[in-house]
Structures are given as structure tokens and as C-alpha cells.
Structure 1
Amino acid sequence: MTGLKSNAGYASEAEDLLQRYEALAFEEVHAPVLHLLPERPTRILEIGSGTGRDAAVFAKQGHQVTAVEPTDELRIPAMSLHPDSAIEWIGDSLPSLAQLKERSAAFDIIMLTAVWMHLDADERAAGMKELSRLATPGAKIFFLLRHGPVPPGRRMFEVSGEETEALAAPYGFSPVFSARHGSLWKANQDNGVTWTRLVLARV
């Protein structure tokens, strides 16, 4: 994994991923934490927005969405697939989020679905600092952490919910939801892939 970028492997698989991600419903993917998502319109930051499936749902619900996706091969088709004036698309990535850093934006909800495990320990520490800077008082951060064998050509690290909670604690975040579950994809199920769902709230 040495020398690979955090989004390694996604560009070459983009066509397949567009079909696979779009085939999963938002409500199915996020079923365990739907009750923690806001009903009233708010400001949502989605980091690693992929095909734009989730960003599109949030936009239709009336939220203002900033969709961050570093892989051009995903972001550009996503913009055509889900055209909505409530979505702002940005080619940026953790840990620095350089483009967002230039703004004074702050968000009530931050989504990181299958993103955090692509960062090494130093990047996770730096990334959490940036997330805290972008989060409003009372904000929630939604993590989905992958556990299991690393696919060829990808860059992934084993990350626990406990470590993530510890990184966020100095910035005023506490866990409001944590659960481990299996994968929705049969290929992942066959490979023993599991996920930790973690929601942190700033109080």
C-alpha cells in the first residue's frame, strides 16, 4: 500500500462502481442511523460522495449539500447523473480538504461513508482536526468503517470505532451510535467484510 493515494483503485473501477453504488438504495445503506439524520433542511457535507447517490437524496429532502469527491472518474459522471442546484461538487480530499479550508463554511452533518479507513494514522489525526473545524456546535459526524481484506490496488488500514471516538473527543465529540454489522454486497459477505457504523455528536 506504500505510495498509493487514499483513493487508489477507484478510477479504474469507476464504471463498475457507478452501477454497484447506484443499485443500493440510500435507505438500505443507512437504515441503522436514519433516525439520527435531520428532518429539517440543513447544511450537509459529504466527503467521498462517489456516484452522488446520497447527495442526491439529501438534496431532494431540501438540504444544501457539499459533495466532496477526489476521483474525477466518479465525480464528473455523478454531476451528470444527479444534476441538482442544491449540490455543490468539489474535487477535494482528506486529510487537508484544501479547497474547503479556504472557505468559512460550517456544516451540521458530515458524512464519511467508507472513507476513513483509506487514511493512515497520521492522516486520520490531521483529518479529524479538519472535520472539527468544519463542524458547527451540535453537529453530527457519520462514519462507516470497513473491516476485512484489502482489495487489490486499494489503500486501506484497519480502523476501529474506539480509535475514532478517541480522536474526536478532544474536539467535543461523543458517540451517540455505534454498531457493527455485515455487508450488503454478497462478494464482501463471502470475503468476511464487516462494517462499524459510528455517529459522533458535538455537544
Structure 2
Amino acid sequence: MEPTSGAGVQAYYAESAERLTRAYESVPFESVHGALLDLLPEPPARVLDVGSGTGRDAAALAGRGFTVDAVEPVTELRRVAERLHQGTGVTWRAGALPALQGVQGPYDVVLLSAVWMHLRPEERPVAMRRLAGLLAPRGILLITLRRGEPPEGRRMFDIPPEEVAGHGAEAGLVPVRLVDEGADLLGRDAVRWNSVALRQERAHCPHP
């Protein structure tokens, strides 16, 4: 679910695609995002899933009646998603933060699940401005953050939700919810999760 242009991290996800598929698809969408589901608008609102990985979240949202675009830079993961979730109506495409070239809003919801922690410090404000620019007025940005010591050999950062909210404020987004969701659903003792929800309050979205 790596969104950035970092070749090393993308290589890890490409090489581990089949193993990661078993892990990601074993955890239901509702279990991962239960703390944020009440913030979703009514379908068929338009949703962008950034770093969509194996497509679990995108397919679940489409199943709830949303119009879903899913962006994933790792070809191997994108192929898995297209195979596993055929017929869901999701539009699958290549793309990477912070640029997300070719992606056009506005979206009512933008979701980044286990993605933000891969962005370098200098990429984060750029990416936040881009995401803010894709949101419709009153649109909501949902971000889940993996917390804990980053694993060796992968580019990953332990980013507190307050930092994410700060970058959101700089991009004109208002914090709606910061959640400490606690234990990892895959049973990794050293990993815990936070969620951040930010809303676009401006009548006209900033340019990406």
C-alpha cells in the first residue's frame, strides 16, 4: 500500500504481494476503519482510495454503494486487486503521492490506509496540499497511521496524528477526529494504529 515514488519501498511491496494479500484481505474493512465509518457521507458519494494495495477497502466501499477510484503505484498489488475484486465497479489506476498525476477531483472522501507513514518529511506538506485540493467542499480526508518503531529495511516513519493535523491545517483542513485505535489487528506486538479525519471547510478547494 505504498503511495510514494520511492523505488525501494515499492520493490518490497512488489516482491511481497502474494504474502501481503493474505494478510490484508484477512482483516475486514469494518474492523480496520470502524472508528471512522460514521463520518462517511451517503452513497453514491465519490471516493478516492490512495495507495489501495490489494483493493480490500476500495471494494468494500464500492459494495456500500460509493463511486470509487483506487490509486496504487505497485503493479503487482494492482493486478491482485483487479483479480480479487472483479465486478465491483472500482476504477483501478496507477499513481503515487505526493504528485498523484492525472487524478482529478473533487472527491467527497479521500482515504489513505497505512500509507502516510511512508512519506518523507519534505513530502508530507506537499502531499497534504494535493489531497486537500482533491476534496469537495465538506469533503473528508481519512488517514490511518501505523505507529511504533519502523521495521528495518523499509522506508517508514512513526508519525504522530498531531503532525498530520498540523499539515492539514496548513492546507486549509479542519480536524474532525484523532483516534488511538490501539493494538494491531494482525497481532504484531510492536505495532499500534492511530486514525485522523480532516474536513475541507472551504467553499472552494485550494489548487493542488
Aligned counterpart, 1:116: 116
- Runs of 5+ consecutive residues of structure 2 not aligned to the other structure: 1-5, 202-208
Q: Determine if contact 1:8/1:153 at 8 Å carries over to the other structure.
A: no
- 2:110 is the alignment partner of 1:107: no
Aligned counterpart, 1:161: 161
Aligned counterpart, 2:185: 184
Q: CA deviation at 1:170?
A: 2.8
Cα deviation code 1:142-169 (max 9, x no counterpart): 0101111222432111211111111111
Within-5 A mapping of 1:139-150: 139-150=139-150
Aligned counterpart, 1:69: 72
CA distance in 1, matches of 2:29, 2:94: 22
- 2:26 is the alignment partner of 1:23: yes
Equivalent pairs counted in the alignment come to 195
Structure 1 segments of 4+ aligned residues over 6 angstroms from their partners: none
Q: CA deviation at 1:48?
A: 0.8
Identity of aligned residues (%): 41
- Runs of 5+ consecutive residues of structure 1 not aligned to the other structure: none
| Counterpart amino acid of residue 72 in structure 1 | T
CA distance in 1, matches of 2:30, 2:140: 18
- 2:91 is the alignment partner of 1:93: no
- 2:175 is the alignment partner of 1:175: yes
- 2:199 is the alignment partner of 1:201: yes
Q: TM-score, normalised by structure 2?
A: 0.88
Within-5 A mapping of 1:28-43: 28-43=31-46
Q: Which moved more, 1:174-183 or 1:127-136?
A: 174-183
| Counterpart amino acid of residue 82 in structure 2 | M
CA distance in 1, matches of 2:88, 2:146: 31
CA distance in 2, matches of 1:40, 1:16: 32
Q: CA deviation at 1:69?
A: 0.6
Aligned counterpart, 1:136: 136
| Counterpart amino acid of residue 45 in structure 1 | L
